[in-house]
Structure 1
Amino acid sequence: MNTLRLVEIMNEVLPKGVVNVVLGEAEIGNAISSHANINKVIFTGSTPTGQKIMANASNTLKRLTLELGGNDAAIVLPGADIGSIAEGIFNTAFINMGQTCAALKRLYVHESQYEEMCQKLADIAASQVVGNGLESTTTFGPIQNANQYRLVTELVEDAVNNGGRVVSGGKASSGKGYFYPPTIVADVSNGTRVVDEEQFGPVLPITSYSTVEQAVAMANDCKFGLGGSVWGSDLELASTVAKQLECGTVWINNHSEVLPNAPFGGSKMSGLGIEFGLKGLLEYTQLQVIHSKK
């Protein structure tokens, strides 16, 4: 509704036809992405839908910007101040209840601080008030739809069945609605569904590592490459590790911050093209070179 209202306001001052809104289901998207007279399509959503758009657009070779799924990894470096970074990690993992493309979705922590981090995050999660967002005491809202609610439940159950340890949450709230508490799952690693798949919901898996090289390898062992982050007190080491992560954006001691002046885009199965910044604006242009012999 906010997008519709924005377009209404824009159309109060813009010439007719400059900005239009078309609403509909998949058939509308199919028509747009395959239409011969549409030169550019920008899409934000799932990787399978992005692949369908790319296939449709191949007939006309139209330009695409695709911001697709992500399974963002974060690495906590040895010696990090757990007390000072735990809240930032929690907030960026559970922004919009984890239902954000560039939310922190996998956490790798050095074995020397693993239990401390698990407990800190569990304590923060346990302090949340899950409920109706219209109530002033609520700090944590619902999952957006039934399918995603079932997926989150399924991923947590699968993790537990494969040796995962739920240190906070893990059980759907009673009553009406798709309410699921912020859930911290420990003792899982790559190869477990909750780590390998984008949960897009209120669950954060935490994995222990022995060496930084191992952490980087596990973080990169993923078909997605939207964002990633490195957390620690040694900023030089953090910068070195950040450059090794296979993703479009890397944050240091932060995550999920998307700025209008900074280019943003994914690698691997997380999409193609750039949004925001000068590079993002240039995505809407067609380069033409004119050679004139003097």
Structure 2
Amino acid sequence: MQTYHNTVSGKQTEAADHQEIFNPATGDSLGLAPLNSQHDVNVAVEAARMAQGAWARVSDQERREIVANVAQVLEENSEYLAGLVTQEQGKPLSGPGSRFEMQACVGWTKVPSSLELLPETVYEDDTRKDVLYRYPLGVVAAIAPWNWPLMIAIWQIIPAIRMGNTVVLKPSEYTPIATLEMVRLINQVLPPGVLNTVSGDGRIGAVLTSHPDINKIMFTGSESTGRRIIEASSQNLAPITLELGGNDAAIIMPGTEAAAISEGLFWGAFLNAGQTCACIKRLYVHENDYDAVVTALSDVASQVPIGDGMVESNLIGPLQNAMQYNKVKELVADARANGCDVMEFGDVPSTGYFLPLTLVGNARDGQRLVDEEQFGPALPIIRYSSLDDATASANRLSDALGASVWANSLEQAETIASKLEAGTVWVNQHGAIHPMVPFGGNKASGYGVEFGMEGLKGVTQSRVISIKK
């Protein structure tokens, strides 16, 4: 059985304890991943701290070139890493799956390597000149999730090192192997200590985020864990970027042609078997269009193959873990018991954490499947009679990562979009993120943004030099 390792100071390290990782589609063992101790965290943070000063002194142009080399390493190893993601996380190789995730890793590495965050003259007159500079914060603690384990880790790693910080990354205990292997490969072109890893469950995450030598925390995951990280950060006063998921609402405006938008709606909801923070989790449909929308979505869902992602023809994989599998089953059962119309599609394998693609008709606000983020392949469809009612329903929950409006008229759609309380509101698309466009949540979906110039600013500290003329 293969044993995987953390990388600290550019070297593979041994751990005293390990956990066995299994394929959620087949139950097959994938190998042993390290389980670290508080001492291991201290060693990794010290390695990052010792490397940070020299890394910050590397010229900006040279850092950009090194990050571009990281993109090349990711490109050269994309197929290997995609295979690990499919076996460990479950998403298929094909379609918007693990190869797609690797393409995103490369893109979200190339773009920061191309950006310059130049000094900004914020004020000048005859008597004074004030220039804002941005400097690295120091050591960044990054906590990556299990749903897009490599892509979101890259979102955290690359802007941080691009701006002269060093990083200690903890992958999810559900999906550590692919992430540890990606970091091992990246370290081929990084100076030792710039990027380090530790592994384990939330207890190791708590040790890392409360460590006195951590200067910035980046976390993607649940609201409950996010709140614990905020508490942990009181030990070091580190600023935090939090992306805590969402219960994204989509509103289809009256009269919108259902067949024309059905595929976009489907993948907006069922990407990665619904295990995506910015997936459609609630669909609001005008009562006159309800039947047409359900029919159009049913037509798409009935044609999408489900199964082991290593089979090229499959486009939907399993839930990643038993906890999530049982949660989604429970929410669908609750909806069925409360009078919803549960429509299931797809031939589901008898082994693994597979669930059918599920449309839940006649759902209502206040039901668990509507009000709780399901994070799985079950979409509640809610009738509305007026756009004001639909907007109010969409805004009533505290989860506010994304939302979308679907319409024939862009002008009308933008009017409704401006009323939705979410970090990003898409029109005639959902989850369409871009490495140059800031992305983050509102309300309980977190704070701070990633991507583009704003994302680079988020991993720096500002310093104003004010000169009297």
Cα shift at 1:172: 9.4
| 1:131-181 Cα deviation digits (max 9, x unpaired) | 212223323211111111111111111111111111334x99462211101
Alignment of 1:227-266 (within 5 A): 227-266=402-441
> Residue 172 of structure 1 contacts residue 180 of structure 1 at CA under 8 Å; is this kept in 2?
no
Instruction: Provide the C-alpha distance between the structure 2 equivalents of 1:216 and 1:265, rounded to a whole number of angstroms.
Output: 20
| 1:109-132 Cα deviation digits (max 9, x unpaired) | 111101110111122212222221
1:144 aligns with 2:320: yes
| 1:186-221 Cα deviation digits (max 9, x unpaired) | 101110000000000000000011111111001001
> Residue 211 of structure 2 contacts residue 235 of structure 2 at CA under 8 Å; is this kept in 1?
no
The one-letter code matched in structure 2 to 1:256 is: G
> Residue 98 of structure 1 contacts residue 200 of structure 1 at CA under 8 Å; is this kept in 2?
yes
Cα shift at 1:15: 1.4
The one-letter code matched in structure 2 to 1:292 is: I
TM-score (norm. length: structure 2): 0.61
1:281 aligns with 2:456: yes
| 1:255-291 Cα deviation digits (max 9, x unpaired) | 0111111000001111111000111110011112233
Moved more, 1-10 or 141-150: 1-10
1:272 aligns with 2:459: no
State the match for 1:161 in structure 2: 337
The one-letter code matched in structure 2 to 1:142 is: P
Alignment of 1:9-88 (within 5 A): 9-88=185-264
Instruction: Provide the C-alpha distance between the structure 2 equivalents of 1:154 and 1:27, rounded to a whole number of angstroms.
Output: 27
State the match for 2:376 in structure 1: 201
1:214 aligns with 2:389: yes
The one-letter code matched in structure 2 to 1:228 is: A
| 1:209-258 Cα deviation digits (max 9, x unpaired) | 11111110010011100000000111001001111111001110000111
Moved more, 52-61 or 92-101: 52-61
State the match for 1:182 in structure 2: 357
In terms of fraction of residues, the more helix-rich structure is 2
RMSD between aligned residues: 1.5
State the match for 2:303 in structure 1: 127
In terms of fraction of residues, the more strand-rich structure is 2
Rg larger in structure: 2
Instruction: Provide the C-alpha distance between the structure 1 equivalents of 2:361 and 2:279, rounded to a whole number of angstroms.
Output: 18
SS in 1 for 2:343: strand
Instruction: Provide the C-alpha distance between the structure 1 equivalents of 2:458 and 2:315, rounded to a whole number of angstroms.
Output: 38
1:226 aligns with 2:401: yes
Instruction: Provide the C-alpha distance between the structure 1 equivalents of 2:377 and 2:270, rounded to a whole number of angstroms.
Output: 6
The one-letter code matched in structure 2 to 1:31 is: V
Unaligned runs of 5+ residues in structure 1 are none
| 1:1-31 Cα deviation digits (max 9, x unpaired) | 4433332233222211111122122222111
Cα shift at 1:60: 2.5
SS in 2 for 1:127: coil
The one-letter code matched in structure 2 to 1:281 is: L
| 1:14-69 Cα deviation digits (max 9, x unpaired) | 21111112212222211111111110010111110011000110232211001112
Instruction: Provide the C-alpha distance between the structure 1 equivalents of 2:183 and 2:332, rounded to a whole number of angstroms.
Output: 40
Unaligned runs of 5+ residues in structure 2 are 1-176
Instruction: Provide the C-alpha distance between the structure 2 equivalents of 1:25 and 1:149, rounded to a whole number of angstroms.
Output: 19
TM-score (norm. length: structure 1): 0.96
